Amino acid sequence: MSGTRLSSGGLIDRARRIDFNFDGRSMHGFGGDTLASALLANGTGIVGRSFKYHRPRGVWGGWFDEPNAIFSVRTPKGSLPNVLGTTTALAPGMDIRSVNAWPNAGFDVKGGLDLFSPWLKAGFYYKTFMKPDWHLFEPMIRRMAGLGTLEPDMVEGYTADQVHAQCDLLVVGGGAAGLAAAEAAARQGKTVWLVEDHDTLGGGLYRMGDRIEGLQPTDWVAARKAAIEDAGGRILTHTTAFGVFDHRLYGLARQSAVDVAPTLYRLRAKECLLASGAIDRPVTFGNNDLPGIMSLEAGLEYLGRYGVRVGNAIAIAANHAQAASAAARLSEAGAKVSLFDPAKGDLAASGRRGVKALRQGKRAEAVDCVLASAGWTPVLHLWRHAGGKLRWDEALATFLPAEAPAGMRAIGAANGTFDLDQALAEARAFAMGEPYSQATTRFTLTPTLPKPGAKGRQWIDFQHDVTLKDIELAERENYVSVEHLKRYTTLSMASDQGKTSNIPGLAAMAALTGKTIPEVGTTTFRPPFVPVPLALYHGHHGGQNFRPLKRLALENVHRSSGAALGEYGGWLRPAWYGDRPGPEAAQSEARMVRDAGGILDASPLGKIEVMGPDAEAFVNFVYYNTMKTLKPGFLRYGFLLTERGVIFDDGVVFRMGPNRFVISSSSSHAEGVTGMLESWRQDGNDPDRIFVHDTTNHWSTVTVTGPKARDVTRSLGLDVDLSADAFPHMTFRETVWRDVALRIARVSFTGEVSFEISVPASSAKALWTALADAGRPLGVRPMGIEALSILRAEKGFIIIGKDTDGETMPHDLGFTLPRTKKPTTFVGDRGLHTDAANDPDRRQLVGLSAIGDTPLPTGAHLIDGTDRRSFGIVTSSYMSPNVNRPIALGLVERGTQRMGETVTLFHLGQTYQATLTSPVAFDREGARIHA
Amino acid sequence: MRDDTHKWDAPFPASSVLTGEVDGKACRVSSANMHRLTLISGSGVQTSSELPLIGWPEIAPDGPFALSLRRDRILEVNGPARTDGWDELKSLAISDMTDGYHAFSVDGPGALGLLHRGADVFAETPSASVARLIFGLPALVYRTGETAFSLVFTRAQAVAAYSALSTALRHCAPVRFKERP
Amino acid sequence: MQVLPCPFCGPRSEGEFHFAAETGKTRPDTTRDVSAEKWAAYLFDQTNEKGVTREIWIHLPCAEVFVMSRDSVTMDVLGTETLRKLPT
């Protein structure tokens, strides 16, 4: 093959020379070149090696239909794997390397694999390497097959912009039909978006270079562009409409260069005109994968857009009306052109590193390039994404649009309207909402489809090395459904997703099974239409924006107090304070609380107000525990259940007044509980008599806990008698502190005397500072969640979702009374009396006392000595600094009946011994909490 | 047990201002001050409020107003002081939420474009409620002028919202469309 | 991404909604005996209609719980009804 850059013609800017390297050789191209056009202009024939057989491959297509020209590219910004050469703009300093070829595409060490091709047929790897285990062979095979490699300096970490937009009309494709349609619609006052994946509008107009409506193509295109923009239309170039999603949502990917961040437009378009054009179908003949064999359309594109004549002696193998005019165009450009009609007899190419000759029967022509076309295939991927139907057209030997999806019509070549004048008329009519009936086409062809049974290898899928023989084999082994054929042979599963191979593949299977092509059917078309960077989808939702945590009003105070912050239930909270390692700090803080006291930021605890005349009945209904007997000023601990009877959340209910409750849900669960309350309120209750306000964000809560908690709290000077008699456990008071509302509750998660103090968040810093200042001389300092976790485990207090799972019911934790005695209905009541709920073997909460000094691993299973069946699990485990031994909680079958039993535990290959005990390891009498 | 402090930006100062260009048009993001927010629910609250009721895309006045949140819920902005709890007489549930939210002002010719980075919020699609998701976060989104918007997030998510807004503003593609005549 | 109509807010993006349940189930009166079969049917039975379905959805930003009729094949939304008494 010997491509040549012509001295004139094309859209390229010959004044802008671009230097680049290909497989270590210096070359140059011009502004407007793609990697492929620049390589062709430099006479490069072999651009890569095929996926499986390492056959030499050249450029086949002119745009997104290219199966072969895939490169690793290094730009000043880094390296990029698997770059499609035909659609990527050449940029200064690019280092381009062929993929799947070593040391380079021209000389590939593994090229010898092709000699073994009779054994490397479809399914070969799986059939051969099944025994003893495919996974033994997989790494070696993956190294030999496959395309590019990831380099350490890969371009990544860029942030894609994502935009929501809407319009009246989206026109997909900036060729003649798309431009005419967009102009007509915009002039009517519609909001119009036109997207074109090239950087230049005009589509296929440059191939033949003919005048259009009396103008040169570039002038006609410029006039249409100006008219569209003057009427307010938006034109996006280098933008691909890559998918259609529910309710007329279109995904548009705009990428101005290969190494810059792309932009995603999520465009909701009332109507869409699909002007996505048509691509050439390959002709299936012997050795049709040789470098130098290209689509006819590509040969004309390289000439018309890039001023590159792809060969000196060119054979055109086409079965349709365009062959003669294409021959004239190429001859005019200086090529020696011969014409073959593939319908008139089998073709075969010969050559090793590139095509040398094309034969048909006795006729042979020495050529360095073959331009082949078996007809045009409308590009209807988006049509199928949207749910449009296809019909097989015998005369054009391709699928054409049939029943249209809602809000979409196809125009121009995409609709099988291949004549330019008709395409313009159709586009303008459809854009105005007027009817148009297709006239008789001047584009006639003699259908040419693959013929099974031929000698030699004929390629169907170039990128995945699927030959006609592979399809014959699939048929013999009964993989005749298209979906089976696809997976068995990998036909159309490469990165080009079968843009060129689909119809030849289906046609071959139809011929083999004696069916028609519509009976064989197509595989499903799925987005994206072309590969798009994953960064497009995640946009700026990376790093901290991926799953942002909730932040405390006091975060800056904690940071300046030396807190180590960590995630706890969706919140960023202090894990511990100070410069020490976490485990050491947690032990020390947990000891401090029992000796003196600690100050904890408990703000994430839910504060969900339930108000209204039916509030009491409602709270009583949603809670497992009886809440209607709760008196104002009192708190009660309770469970919210699912209808299955499983624990959904635990927390404390404050009764503020006759018609007002505050539900203090667990810290990670305020939104979940609010949602649960809302759905019961509206579905099953009278929503005009119950109102639910989640006020969690308005308040900050600081908990003072420990033997000196009362002394510290007293420093606030509240008008509340803090003595144990006047202010007992499980009560609360409302008051005012420094002119703001303050709520103080006696409730404890540590087992020590605790005051849980809530103020509006803007006063949190003042409250925290006052308490910390008062605590310091008493040895009462800030404590983190890690210490709290130890303290509550010492007391056998559970954390929902850690010490309970998707089966745990209240009676498994020892809360049995409401189950049998609560007189009114409640959520989950019947679920607590199913056979499963009554099972005597249910897992129950226990304590585990490890034998030895090492804490049990959380997650360890209790195992039976005989069959190693798990009959329980460790849910929480710590070293306790206050009882000076390892402690643990667990859920164990019939646990409460097994107290004192010694059990064996298993975790990651190790076994442990422990004794089952009460969950309460510290202050079993519970005296301290009431002090 | 991990110290993840370094993975998360410290909360932004209330005085910080973000500026940038969206689709070639200037845009500015700053924190806004609202001195009293009162959440009020009741079956007739949408019709009984004395304050102007703001949905989408109505423009909120300078003085006190009420945001329409739900069929039976409003948020009074800078309205009169009220007592928390169940108002027996008027059958209203009332909660002070002044410290529960953080508001950002987004203004300038590029403001709506910045909002489009986070949600499909269009003036052509009116809504009875200003409550929606933007940048994946629950928010109250309403207009305060022709090209000025207020974005109100829960206080705990203000840092996340600030990070989303600043990232989106920083990474806007430099596409400039011709204005529609 | 679908556009679903909230009976109060109007059309909003699918991401703002949660599916809650199929319509047609009433909570059994648990003050009387409820057979295991009846309770299991209440908890777990789904009709999973292909085609026209009636479902309960929640619009999260305004917490509206409502009934939506839609076509589970074409994804067309056929209509919505509020569960609420509308002001008279």
Q: Does A265 touch chain B (CB under 8 A)?
A: no
Of residues A548, A563, A612, nearest to B160 (C-beta)? A548
Chain B with chain C: Cβ pairs closer than 8 A: 46
Query: Dihedral through CA A27, CA A32, CA A35, CA A40, nearest 10?
Result: -70
Residue C72 lies in a domain: yes
Of residues B101, B163, B173, nearest to A548 (C-beta)? B163
Q: Do A555 and B116 touch (CB under 8 A)?
A: no
Phi-psi bin for A722: left (phi > 0), alpha (psi -120 to 50), beta? Answer: alpha
Count of domains in chain C? Answer: 1
Of residues A545, A691, A760, nearest to B41 (C-beta)? A691
Do A491 and A556 fall within a single domain?
no
- A761 DSSP β-pair partners: none
Query: Residues of B63-72 as b/e, b for ≥16 C-beta within 10 angstroms?
Result: eebbbbbbbb
| Residue A362 in this model has a pLDDT that exceeds 90 | yes
CA angle A601-A607-A609, nearest 5°? Answer: 165
Q: Does C16 touch chain B (CB under 8 A)?
A: yes
Q: Does C41 touch chain B (CB under 8 A)?
A: no
- Within 13 Å, how many C-alpha atoms sit on residue B53's CB side? 17
Q: Do B167 and A540 touch (CB under 8 A)?
A: yes
- Residue where a domain terminates, one of A373, A391, A418: A373
Residue C2 maps to which CATH number? 3.30.2270.10
Q: Does C87 touch chain B (CB under 8 A)?
A: yes
Q: Which residue of A has its CA nearest to B162?
A: A545
Residue A37 lies in a domain: yes
Q: Does B71 touch chain C (CB under 8 A)?
A: yes
Q: Does C56 touch chain A (CB under 8 A)?
A: yes
Residue A790 lies in a domain: no
pLDDT tens for A55-78 read 899 999 999 999 999 999 999 999
A280 with A296: CB under 8 angstroms?
yes
Instruction: Provide the residue type at A702 as one letter.
Output: V
Measured CA to CA, the distance from residue A216 to residue A911 in angstroms comes to 83
Q: Does A691 touch chain B (CB under 8 A)?
A: yes
Q: How far is B124 from chain C (nearest CA, A)?
A: 11
- Percent above pLDDT 90 for chain B: 91
* Two tokens, residue B37: 């927010």
pLDDT tens for A784-841 read 999 999 999 999 999 999 999 999 999 999 999 999 999 999 999 999 999 999 999 9
Count of domains in chain A? Answer: 6
Measured CA to CA, the distance from residue A579 to residue C47 in angstroms comes to 58
Chain-centre distance of CA A452, in angstroms?
A: 40
Neighbours of chain A (3+ CB pairs under 8 A): B, C
Do A802 and A880 fall within a single domain?
yes
pLDDT tens for A633-650 read 999 999 999 999 999 999
Q: How far is A834 from chain C (nearest CA, A)?
A: 7
Which of helix, strand or coil describes residue A767? helix
Full domain range(s) for residue C87: 1-25+47-88
Measured CA to CA, the distance from residue B135 to residue A164 in angstroms comes to 11
Residue from A560, A598, A622, A639 nearest A787 by CA:
A598
pLDDT class of A276 with cuts at 50, 70, 90: very high
Do A730 and A853 fall within a single domain?
no
CATH number of B17-170: 3.30.1360.120
- Top residue of B73, B75, B76, B84 to mutate, by most chain A CBs within 10 Å, is B84
* Two tokens, residue B22: 């969206």
Q: Do A683 and C83 touch (CB under 8 A)?
A: yes
Q: Which residue of B has its CA nearest to C10?
A: B127
Q: Exposed, middle or buried by CB within 10 Å (0-12, 13-18, 19+), for A214?
A: exposed
Of residues C2, C43, C63, nearest to A678 (C-beta)? C63
Do A761 and A801 fall within a single domain?
no
Average pLDDT for A445-468: 89
Instruction: Provide the residue type at A281 as one letter.
Output: R
Q: How far is A432 from chain B (nearest CA, A)?
A: 20
Residue from A214, A190, A219 nearest A202 by CA:
A219
pLDDT tens for C27-56 read 999 999 999 999 999 999 999 999 999 999
Measured CA to CA, the distance from residue A693 to residue B40 in angstroms comes to 9
Q: Do B70 and C64 touch (CB under 8 A)?
A: yes
Q: In sequence order, which residues have a C-beta less than 8 Å from that of residue A837 and are 6 or more positions away?
A: A645, A809, A811, A831
A253 with A264: CB under 8 angstroms?
yes
Q: What pLDDT is stored for residue C88 in this prediction? A: 47
CA angle C79-C80-C81, nearest 5°? Answer: 135
A668 with A568: CB under 8 angstroms?
yes
Q: How far is A20 from chain C (nearest CA, A)?
A: 42
Neighbours of chain B (3+ CB pairs under 8 A): A, C
A426 with A436: CB under 8 angstroms?
yes
Do A807 and A917 fall within a single domain?
yes
Residue A538 lies in a domain: no
* Two tokens, residue B74: 């409003």
Q: Where are the domains of chain B?
A: 17-170
Measured CA to CA, the distance from residue C37 to residue C43 in angstroms comes to 10
Q: How far is B88 from chain A (nearest CA, A)?
A: 8
Do A257 and A270 fall within a single domain?
yes
Measured CA to CA, the distance from residue A809 to residue A812 in angstroms comes to 5
| Residue A332 in this model has a pLDDT that exceeds 60 | yes
Residue A711 lies in a domain: yes
Measured CA to CA, the distance from residue A170 to residue B31 in angstroms comes to 37
Q: Do C83 and A682 touch (CB under 8 A)?
A: yes
Q: What pLDDT is stored for residue A280 in this prediction? A: 96
Chain A residues touching residue B164 (CB < 8 angstroms): 540, 545, 548
Residue C77 lies in a domain: yes
Q: How far is B133 from chain A (nearest CA, A)?
A: 13
Chain C residues touching residue A644 (CB < 8 angstroms): 43
Chain C residues touching residue B134 (CB < 8 angstroms): none
Q: In sequence order, which residues have a C-beta less than 8 Å from that of residue A678 and are 6 or more positions away?
A: A692, C58, C63, C65
- Top residue of B70, B135, B151 to mutate, by most chain C CBs within 10 Å, is B70
Chain B residues touching residue A741 (CB < 8 angstroms): 84, 96
pLDDT tens for A533-585 read 989 999 999 899 999 999 999 999 999 999 999 999 999 999 999 999 999 99
- Of chain C, the end-to-end C-alpha distance in Å amounts to 35
Of residues C13, C15, C84, nearest to B71 (C-beta)? C84
Measured CA to CA, the distance from residue A87 to residue A33 in angstroms comes to 10
Q: What pLDDT is stored for residue A2 in this prediction? A: 80
Helices (H), A57-157: 124-128, 134-144
Do A201 and A270 fall within a single domain?
yes
Q: Is the bond leading into B57 cis (omega within 30 degrees of zero)?
A: yes
- C77 DSSP β-pair partners: C70
Residue C8 lies in a domain: yes
Q: How far is C32 from chain A (nearest CA, A)?
A: 10
Full domain range(s) for residue A297: 4-107+282-373
Chain C residues touching residue B71 (CB < 8 angstroms): 8, 62, 64, 82, 84
Chain-centre distance of CA B61, in angstroms?
A: 15
Q: Exposed, middle or buried by CB within 10 Å (0-12, 13-18, 19+), for A434?
A: exposed
Residue from A637, A626, A644, A640 nearest A675 by CA:
A640
Neighbours of chain C (3+ CB pairs under 8 A): A, B
Residue C30 lies in a domain: no
Chain A residues touching residue B119 (CB < 8 angstroms): 164
Q: Chain-wide mean pLDDT for chain C?
A: 93
Rg (CA), chain C: 15
Average pLDDT for A277-294: 96
| Dihedral angle sign, alpha carbons of residues C48, C49, C52, C53 | negative
Chain C residues touching residue A252 (CB < 8 angstroms): none
Residue A480 maps to which CATH number? 1.10.10.1100
Q: What pLDDT is stored for residue A139 in this prediction? A: 66
Residue C87 lies in a domain: yes
- Top residue of B133, B175, B176 to mutate, by most chain A CBs within 10 Å, is B175
Helix axis angle for A670-682 and A615-622, nearest 10°, is 120
Which of helix, strand or coil describes residue A612? coil
A180 with A427: CB under 8 angstroms?
yes
Residue C42 lies in a domain: no
A729 with A748: CB under 8 angstroms?
yes
Q: What pLDDT is stored for residue A495 in this prediction? A: 85
Tokens 């993001």 belong to which residue?
Answer: B29
Helices (H), A834-906: 835-838
Of residues C13, C15, C62, nearest to B70 (C-beta)? C62
Dump strand ranges (E) for A185-330. Answer: 192-195, 234-236, 239-245, 249-254, 263-274, 278-280, 293-295, 308-309, 313-318
Residue A333 lies in a domain: yes
pLDDT class of A20 with cuts at 50, 70, 90: very high
Do A478 and A463 fall within a single domain?
yes
- Top residue of B23, B95, B172 to mutate, by most chain A CBs within 10 Å, is B95
| Residue A116 in this model has a pLDDT that exceeds 80 | no
- Top residue of A158, A195, A236, A540 to mutate, by most chain B CBs within 10 Å, is A540
Residue C37 lies in a domain: no
Of residues A166, A556, A609, nearest to B11 (C-beta)? A556
Weakest-pLDDT range from A124-128, A876-880, B68-72, B154-158:
A124-128
Q: Does C66 touch chain B (CB under 8 A)?
A: no
Q: Does B48 touch chain C (CB under 8 A)?
A: no
C63 with B70: CB under 8 angstroms?
yes
Residue A240 lies in a domain: yes
- Residue where a domain terminates, one of A694, A709, A741: A694
A858 with A877: CB under 8 angstroms?
yes
Instruction: Provide the residue type at A636 as one letter.
Output: R
Helices (H), A419-524: 420-431, 468-476, 482-489, 502-513, 517-520
Of residues C10, C60, C63, nearest to B128 (C-beta)? C10
Q: Please give the helix or strand (H or E) that residue A880 lies within, else none.
A: strand A870-880
Rg (CA), chain A: 37
Q: Is the bond leading into A132 cis (omega within 30 degrees of zero)?
A: yes
Average pLDDT for A680-692: 94
Q: How far is B137 from chain A (nearest CA, A)?
A: 10
| Residue A111 in this model has a pLDDT that exceeds 80 | no
pLDDT class of A119 with cuts at 50, 70, 90: low
Do A829 and A778 fall within a single domain?
no
Q: Does C14 touch chain B (CB under 8 A)?
A: no
Q: In sequence order, which residues have a C-beta less than 8 Å from that of residue A211 and are 6 or more positions away?
A: A217
